[in-house]
Amino acid sequence: MGRGRERNGGGVLNTFVAITPGLEEALRDELHDLGIEGRVVPGGVTFHGDHAAVYAVHLHSRVAARVSVTVGEVPARSLEQLAGGVRGLDWRPFVWPGQPVRVSATARQSRLHHRGTLEKKVAHAVTDALKGPRLPGPRPPREPALVGVHVHRDRATLTVDASGDLLHRRGWRKATAKAPLRENLAAAVLRLARWAPGEPLVDPMCGAGTFPIEAASVAMGHAPGYRRTFAFSRWPTFDERVWERLRKAARGASALDTRAPILAADRDAGAVRATRANADRAGVGGRLQVLGVELAALRPPSGPGLIVMNPPYGERIGGRSSVGRVYRAIGEALRGRWDGWRVAILLPGPRHLGALGIRLETAASFSNGGIPVILALGELGAAS
């Protein structure tokens, strides 16, 4: 059991799993593989499940960015009405009496539009709801409970964060390259490209190695949340026995594939060093082949398989006029030598598809580091 007696531990939780807008389908597909049937909403997927389902998402999801649980919905025509509704909600499963509370507020089409005032009012109301004589047991956590209040017109939805730190932070990326791609976005791209262990994978512009390291972790059966701690472990209802049972099952999972090549390459020596260091920290250094070579000189391994890349764009290569030249060079390097291979490539917009000279289709549009990008998929050998 956790830090205290469990209350409502077996209850159903209304859970929201967040992801970068545009990648919701990849997240829903992943949750389905975990046995969780969710509903796509803007910026994520919602589902109703027990505490074990929330734990499982944190342990196994590669695509998710953050998880929160809805505590309740209350009327919010005035600050006093909002505060009264918040005090009437049951916060005991998620927040300890005396635990610090930090609130993040958003408001749309509401007269309650001042974020700072909303956040202070809700924080005080949550604290008031938990007041009472101190019961015997553990001291409250020093870490604050992260509460969200989302006001739309005259209603407010109250949530509590289950994750803590963002889920894309696997803990292995200490060395970085230019414009690193978040780990969960790389995982979403691999899923949308329908890559699976057993198919060769090549990233010829690997940067910090995010794509091949994610692929190798999948192939070796590594659960991304296995070595992490999460905010839900501080909930009064946290069931340590359930969590350890899930972790034990994840630890005993066997590798899904140990044969198909996973190759990372980059012409930049710093990127090669970063990839090797990150792969070693992720525990997959022995599963990758890392080469310091540019795409035009790279020989395909035994395949065919998937080529995945996040080539430079924008300021990384000197502006819009340089982008076309870069993509024409990429297309020339891929055509012929890599025929039969599938390709997944991130582009700064559909206007650059023609420069590659490869028939590609847009599979998703999302933001990478604040830059709008598209994921284009296709098969090499089909000239446009």
pLDDT, average across residues 304-309: 97
Give the pLDDT confidence of 282-299 residue by residue, as tens digits: 999 999 999 999 999 999
Residue 202 has, within 13 A of its CA and on its CB side, a CA count of: 22
Q: Which domain holds residue 154?
A: 13-161
**Residue 255 included in any domain:** yes
User: Both 187 and 39 in a single domain?
Assistant: no
State residue 1's pLDDT score: 31
User: Both 155 and 201 in a single domain?
Assistant: no
In the predicted model, is pLDDT for residue 317 greater than 70? no
**Residue 149 included in any domain:** yes
Mean pLDDT of the residues in the chain: 90
User: Both 278 and 129 in a single domain?
Assistant: no
Q: How deeply is 58 buried, as exposed, middle or buried, from its count of CB atoms within 10 A (0-12, 13-18, 19+)?
A: buried
**Residue 246 included in any domain:** no
Give the pLDDT confidence of 320-367 residue by residue, as tens digits: 556 778 899 999 999 889 999 999 999 988 888 888 888 999 999 999
User: Both 19 and 95 in a single domain?
Assistant: yes
User: Both 371 and 280 in a single domain?
Assistant: yes
Q: What is the DSSP letter of 78?
A: S
The span from the CA of 132 to the CA of 129, in Å, is 9
**Residue 201 included in any domain:** yes
**Residue 318 included in any domain:** yes
Contact 311, 346 (CB under 8 A): yes
Neighbours of 268 (CB within 10 A): 15
Q: Is the dihedral of CA 279, 280, 284, 285 positive or negative?
A: positive
The set of long-range contacts for 129-135, using a CB threshold of 8 Å and a minimum separation of 24, is 129/86, 129/87, 129/88, 129/89, 129/91, 130/91, 130/92, 130/95, 130/96, 130/97, 130/98, 130/99, 131/97, 132/97, 134/97, 134/98, 135/97
The span from the CA of 188 to the CA of 26, in Å, is 6
The span from the CA of 228 to the CA of 161, in Å, is 16
Give the pLDDT confidence of 57-89 residue by residue, as tens digits: 999 999 999 999 999 999 999 999 999 999 999
User: Both 105 and 200 in a single domain?
Assistant: no
Q: How many domains does the chain have?
A: 2
- 259 — pLDDT class (breaks 50, 70, 90): confident
Give the pLDDT confidence of 127-147 residue by residue, as tens digits: 999 997 766 677 889 999 999
Please, which residues bridge with residue 264 across strands? 203, 290
- 28: helix, strand or coil: helix
The H or E element that residue 13 is part of is: strand 13-18
- The CATH number covering residue 200 comes to 3.40.50.150
Q: What is the pTM assigned to this prediction?
A: 0.91
pLDDT, average across residues 90-115: 94
- The CATH number covering residue 51 comes to 3.30.2130.30
State residue 384's pLDDT score: 43
State residue 324's pLDDT score: 76
Please, which residues bridge with residue 368 across strands? 371
**Residue 226 included in any domain:** no
In the predicted model, is pLDDT for residue 25 greater than 80? yes
- 110: helix, strand or coil: coil
State residue 369's pLDDT score: 84
**Residue 26 included in any domain:** yes
User: Both 201 and 156 in a single domain?
Assistant: no
Give the pLDDT confidence of 184-236 residue by residue, as tens digits: 999 999 999 999 999 999 999 999 999 999 999 999 999 999 999 999 999 99
State residue 295's pLDDT score: 95
**Residue 123 included in any domain:** yes
User: Both 123 and 216 in a single domain?
Assistant: no
Token pair 């509401």 is at which residue? 110
